Amino acid sequence: MDKKLLIVDGLNLIRRLYAALESEHDVSRRIERTQSIAVEALAKLTHQFQPSYAVVVFDSSGKTWRHQVYPEYKLGRVPMDDSLLLSLPEFAKVFRFNHLSCLRIDGWEADDLIATLAVKAASHHIKSYIISTDKGFTQLLGDESILQYDYFAKLGYDKIWVPGKYGVEPHQLVDYWALVGDTTNRIPGVKGIGPKTALTIINTFPTIEEIYANVSSFSDRIQGLLAGGYEQCLQSRRLVALKTDVDIGVRLSQLRYHSPKVM
């Protein structure tokens, strides 16, 4: 059997399950129900993918390197309920009780840890399944050993899906997003450049450096839009690009998944 690594974006799963229980006004009860449903979801996922290794990855509390580079990063995003935030260690405890490793490193977003784990696993010919609705992970799908699965929509994404969705290959997404921006995380693009114009630009020259080195090749309208935006594009690309070389300090063998024995 081929080895597989299941990587769950912990907050992505938990926050969506929690949001779906908004009719529950008793906060403690709402959190308990979220924990229960999350455990059920993880059980379904491990049964579906039959992983050799599995880990639930959490964000670090507080600011990360992206906030240092760009203080407005994620500014204005609806904050997590305090009660839910304080209960996250309990979620991790419950997940571990159910045979799932949990990972969190101070100063790092889960996205960078997940990307690092997936790329490292791929280098050892281990297929990774990233469980998240976050579009940022699609930049990793150029590697056939990395797949993404949306638990809520029950849809899987691979390298073939990306061009149909965005019109570019996975490795081009960071340059594409540098032009159009990422509104979810408050990362700016170039004012006036939307997806259609960005595709015209990217399909002519594939990187920000090449685009600005050949800016005179574009129409006057596009030249006007691009004018003065080079440094901002470089910064935006840096922000949307996932780190794949974080020193996690965890061996893959430590993430081995042992399914619970049925008595």
**Interval 21-30: pLDDT, tens:** 999 999 999 9
Give CA–CA dist 259/62, Å, rounded. 33
CATH of domain 168-240: 1.10.150.20
Distances (CA, A) of 31 to 26, 38, 133, 194: 9, 10, 21, 39
- pLDDT band, residue 163 (cuts 50/70/90): very high
Binned at pLDDT 50, 70 and 90, residue 41 comes out as: very high
SS3 state of residue 155: strand
Mean pLDDT taken over the chain:
94
H helix and E strand count, the chain: 11, 6
* Residue extents of the structural domains in the chain: 4-163, 168-240
Predicted local confidence at residue 263, as pLDDT: 41
Sign, CA torsion 55/142/237/179: negative
Confidence of residue 61 (pLDDT cuts 50, 70, 90): confident
Rounded-to-integer distance, Cα 81 and Cα 42, Å: 22
Task: Decide if 199 contacts 181 (C-beta within 8 A).
Answer: no
Q: Is the pLDDT of residue 223 over 60?
A: yes
Average pLDDT over residues 239-246: 97
Over residues 185-217, the pLDDT tens digits come to 999 999 999 999 999 999 999 999 999 999 999
Distance, CA of 145 to CA of 4 (rounded, Å): 9
Residue 44 has pLDDT above 50, yes or no: yes
Are 4-163 and 168-240 the same fold in CATH? no
Q: Which CATH topology does 4-163 take? A: Rossmann fold (3.40.50)
pTM for the model stands at 0.95
What is the reported pLDDT for 261? 61
